[in-house]
Amino acid sequence: MMFLAPHRPASLLRERFAALTSAEAAQGRDPELEQIAFVRSPTEVAGLGGVCVDYLGPLVRHYVNSGS
């Protein structure tokens, strides 16, 4: 899943993500998403590590090239 979010400080988004996952865990549920990452270029996608969908790089490239 990819979100094109309005400009917000990364620290605020990380804080809100942590609060959301903590709230899920407190209710005895496994959070659907375990990590959050911010990428600004296809090169950064390659550095994410772990399992990524094969279309993530082209999708990021599209948004970078379109100026969105």
Q: Which two tokens stand for residue 2?
A: 């990819």
Check residue 25 and give its pLDDT: 93
Check residue 4 and give its pLDDT: 67
Q: Record the pTM.
A: 0.67
Check residue 43 and give its pLDDT: 86
3-state secondary structure 8-31: CCHHHHHHHHHHHHHHHHHCCCCC
Per-residue pLDDT tens, the chain, 68 aa: give them.
666 667 889 999 999 999 999 999 999 999 888 888 888 888 888 888 777 788 888 888 888 887 65
